[in-house]
A = this chain, B = another copy of it.
Amino acid sequence: MAKSSALPKYIQLSEMLIREIAAGRLADGSRLPPEREMAEDLGVAVGTLRKALADVEVKGLLHRVQGSGNYVQHRPAVESVYAFFRLELLKGGGLPTADVLSVDRLAKPDGFAQLGGHKEGHRIRRLRSLDGVLIALEEIWLDAGQRDQISISALSESLYHFYRHELGLVIASVEDRIGVDVVPDWSPTAFHLNAGEVTGYIERVSWTATKEPAEFSRTWYDASRANYISRMGKG
């Protein structure tokens, strides 16, 4: 922990906890030890542990109750995926880029076979970067019924842009599962995936859409209850 390249402790802790929960080593609904006790066992300050726990809660894997305890929740890691989703959607902060490695038309894998009307799909493999820093490997399957042929050049820009303008689709919602220590066999050497401690894995099924804008809404809210809202929204 002397090197400057080390991650912040609270991130290391939250990643560790997420792996423990996602891997099922902590039972659903079970309560963690008291924060002070846990912090002492881990050799960190309570505040540091609390920051880690808050992070895990945001990712939807923990339910924190004042006066009671911290409870494990076995739900998909919605928030961490949302961060990826936002990269292309909002383009806020940093420059998101993607290099398309390959586009192939193949028979669909098992989990995907039930979706869409065709037996084949387009498999797109991409490298995702932020400000030139490689952050993710991505494999996307698109139902062949959408298009006969897809070229790499057509995907040059944002996938979101491609969906919207070429296919008329808009990403509607995502459903994810999280796994642990799974490494793809096509990982390039440029992307140093650590097969041990810090490798995460997300599997996503998402719904798509075609309709034009057909809704308009207005919401007035009482900001004095905003804390309550966000607190419940996290749970």
Instruction: State the A residues within 8 Å of B (CB).
Output: 7-8, 11, 15, 18-19, 60, 63, 73, 75, 78, 80-84, 86-87, 89-90, 92-94, 108-109, 111-112, 115-116, 121, 130-131, 133, 135-143, 145-146, 169-173, 182-184, 187, 191-194, 198-235
State the CA gap A229–B92 with chains docked (Å).
12
Q: Given A173-B171, A210-B211, A211-B207, do A225 and B92 touch, yes or no (CB 8 Å)?
A: no
Number of copies of this chain in the oligomer? Answer: 2
Contacting pair A198 B224 (CB below 8 A): yes
Task: Provide the main secondary structure of the chain A interface.
Answer: mixed
Contacts of A145 in B (CB 8 A): 214
Write the nearest CB–CB distance from A113 to chain B, whole angstroms.
10
Contacting pair A116 B214 (CB below 8 A): yes
State the CA gap A215–B216 with chains docked (Å).
27
Contacting pair A222 B7 (CB below 8 A): no
| A130 CB contact (under 8 Å) in B92, B201, B229 | B229
Write the nearest CB–CB distance from A50 to chain B, whole angstroms.
11
Contacting pair B209 A208 (CB below 8 A): yes
| Extra 8 A-B pairs, beta carbons < 8 Å, given A11-B226, A83-B230, A133-B228 | A80-B226, A93-B234, A137-B219, A139-B218, A140-B218, A198-B224, A206-B215, A207-B209
**Contact sample, A vs B, 30 pairs, CB 8 Å cutoff:** A60-B92, A80-B230, A82-B233, A83-B229, A87-B233, A89-B173, A92-B233, A115-B213, A115-B214, A116-B214, A135-B225, A136-B219, A136-B221, A137-B219, A139-B220, A140-B216, A140-B217, A145-B214, A169-B211, A172-B172, A182-B220, A198-B224, A200-B221, A200-B222, A201-B220, A201-B221, A204-B216, A204-B219, A205-B217, A208-B209
